[in-house]
Structure 1
Amino acid sequence: MTGAAAPTRGYAGGKEDYLRRLRRIEGQARGLQKMVEDDKYCIDILTQVSAMTSALQSVALGLVNDHLGHCVVEAARTGGPEADAKVKEAADAIARLVRS
């Protein structure tokens, strides 16, 4: 029994890089927890929160770029309602990022 092939995602070419970066962010989160457990200085914790936030934003911007360059471009080539939906989806995702 064969199922349909999984769709190729826009980030597929950089998947290992994204995973590496997300693992690093995961480590930063554990480090933050330890800092709080160890009663570290507030400003030191905030500095690490800022670094983690920047790392997450970098991942998000990369994913947006990959989505636009792959998913939205492919949908635009096809045209029709799918293209309109992909553009709206991308615009909504960017709006969420800007608000965060």
Structure 2
Amino acid sequence: MELDMAGQELRAVLNRLRRAQGQISGVIRMIEEGRDCEEVVTQLAAASRALDRAGFAIIATGLQQCLAELPEGESGQEDREQMKARLEKLFLSLA
């Protein structure tokens, strides 16, 4: 399953990932500086949410593409079941 994201979708996901990257760098710096535990955990939680949102956006885009490309008929039903299982596994990996 290849992911083909449109320009706007791709920019949104990349922005979320860059935000998470910056937050993780900030967390590392905070730990090195011996900052307050509560502040560190707050920033770590924000980075985690940014990563989760990026993952869900990627999965949602993949779901739309996969459903649009699946063939009809009995063989299509088998493909749908396999795709459903794969996407369910991806969603659960983020939970």
Is TM (by shorter chain) over 0.5? yes
The separation in 1 between residues aligned to 2:41 and 2:88, in whole angstroms, is 30
Aligned length: 91
The separation in 1 between residues aligned to 2:55 and 2:3, in whole angstroms, is 15
CA contact (8 A) 1:9 1:71 kept: no
Matched with 2:62 is 67
Matched with 2:83 is 86
The separation in 1 between residues aligned to 2:56 and 2:2, in whole angstroms, is 19
Compute the TM-score of the two structures, normalised by the length of structure 2: 0.80
Compute the TM-score of the two structures, normalised by the length of structure 1: 0.76
Give 2:18's aligned amino acid: R
Structure 1 segment 10-89 matched on structure 2, within 5 A = 10=4, 12-13=5-6, 14-75=9-70, 77=72, 79-89=76-86
Give 2:60's aligned amino acid: N
Aligned alpha-carbon RMSD (Å): 2.1
Match for 2:3 among 6, 9, 17?
9
